[in-house]
């Protein structure tokens, strides 16, 4: 679709050229770590400028990392784009379903999945975390919980961009929602979500944000509308603690974006944090997790994208991806978001 992560650059005036930014940030601590009381926020993709711009005022005022990442999520969920929020692409039956999770410095966490007609799934996840003994709610139960806690039920109408993309996909897929007559005899009752959108970008962007506050505490969130035209009920890695997001306040935090099924298979973000625990830098830890995924099926790995983003307790950041093209946004010191291109396995 025309509105995707690369069209999020409303704040692009804040960005430095990739080469300069890489020289500044790729291999060095961002600010010297939490002991100096200097906060940092990082988000997946160049669209992370939207999220970071919302998170930074919280951190700049000495606020909690958890509050910062929630604001980051709310900002991107408000934006109309292909892959996050109610404006995103629907599933193959024409419904937008949202997934999100959030985690704080004390390993408190909350998550929702297959949530319909609720604008801010990340806030529902936080409410679940803070008011119940549970971690994960899905579908009608998640919606019921949201409504009981004051969240508004939205119309469910597709955004203009999403409606246009859905019409085009229905033509190409020859799919009849629910009935699916043409493909009843096909393996698994396809068609399934395409690997790439019409503009060539991979069909599974999410927004993951990690923050380190002035007190030296870490928190993170991950939010998405999932793969466009996915099988109804499909859930990827984004709302799964240890897959799309993991925070260990003694070590660091990680988030992911890309083909969620591949991240789930290796408990990807938990793996990244454990690599950091064992002495790897954030970039090295992300690279090792990517290599674990690629090793499983090297030929198939050439067909999908997975990217990991991490920050450690000292304020160092790093990322690594399967394919070229994964980037992240970092905000620290001057409050200006800077875009960094990650290294990748397949250069």
Does 206 participate in catalysis according to the annotation?
yes
- The answer to whether 313 touches 295, Cβ cutoff 8 Å, is no
Calpha distance 339→8 (Å, rounded) = 12
- Going from the C-alpha of 44 to that of each of 5, 47, 145, 181, 223, the distances in angstroms are 10, 7, 29, 39, 11
Asked if 316 and 340 count as a contact pair (C-beta separation under 8 A), the reply is: no
> Which residue do the tokens 């937008």 mark?
96
Neighbouring-strand partners of residue 112: 100, 137
- Residue from 206, 209, 329, 332 carrying the catalytic annotation: 206
What's the CA gap between 160 and 224, in Å, rounded?
18
Secondary structure, 3-state, 100-141: EEEECCCCCEEEEEEECCCCCHHHHHHHHHHHCCCCEEEHHH
Sign of CA dihedral 267, 107, 244, 92: positive
- Do 291 and 284 meet the contact criterion of CB atoms below 8 Å apart? no
Retrieve residue 170's tokens.
Answer: 């229905």
Q: What token pair was written down for 12? A: 């692009």
For 305-346, what is the HEC assignment?
Answer: CEEEEEEECCCCEEEEECCCCCEEEEEECCCCCEEEECEECC
Residues designated as active site: 206
């Amino acid at each position: 679709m025309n509105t995707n992560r690369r069209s999020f650059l409303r704040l692009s005036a804040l960005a430095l050229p990739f080469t300069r930014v890489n020289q500044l940030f790729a291999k060095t601590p961002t600010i010297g770590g939490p002991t100096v009381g200097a906060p940092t926020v990082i988000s997946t993709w160049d669209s992370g400028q939207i999220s970071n711009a919302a998170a930074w005022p919280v951190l700049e005022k000495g606020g909690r990392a958890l509050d910062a990442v929630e604001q980051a999520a709310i900002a991107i969920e408000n934006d109309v784009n292909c892959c996050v929020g109610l404006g995103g692409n629907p599933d193959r039956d024409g419904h937008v379903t949202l997934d999100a999770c959030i985690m704080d410095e004390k390993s408190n966490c909350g998550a929702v999945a297959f949530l319909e007609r609720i604008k801010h799934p990340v806030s529902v996840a936080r409410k679940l975390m803070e008011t119940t003994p549970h971690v994960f709610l899905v579908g009608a139960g998640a919606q019921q919980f949201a409504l009981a806690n004051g969240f508004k039920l939205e119309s469910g109408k597709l955004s203009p961009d999403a409606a246009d993309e859905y019409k085009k996909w229905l033509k190409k897929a020859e799919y009849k929602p629910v009935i699916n007559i043409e493909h009843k005899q096909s393996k698994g009752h396809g068609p399934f979500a395409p690997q790439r959108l019409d503009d060539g970008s991979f069909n599974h962007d999410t927004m993951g944000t990690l923050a380190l506050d002035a007190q030296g505490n870490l928190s993170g969130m991950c939010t998405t509308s999932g793969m466009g035209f996915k099988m109804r009920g499909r859930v990827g890695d984004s709302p799964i603690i240890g897959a799309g997001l993991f925070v260990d306040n003694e070590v660091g935090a990680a988030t992911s974006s890309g083909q969620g099924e591949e991240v789930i298979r290796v408990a990807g973000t938990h793996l990244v944090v454990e690599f950091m625990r064992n002495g790897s830098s954030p970039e090295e830890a992300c690279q090792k997790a990517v290599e674990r995924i690629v090793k499983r099926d090297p030929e198939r790995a050439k067909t999908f994208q997975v990217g990991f983003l991490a920050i450690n307790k000292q304020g160092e950041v790093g990322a690594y991806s399967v394919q070229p093209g994964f980037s992240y946004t970092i905000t620290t010191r001057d409050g200006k978001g800077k875009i960094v291109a990650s290294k990748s396995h397949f250069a």
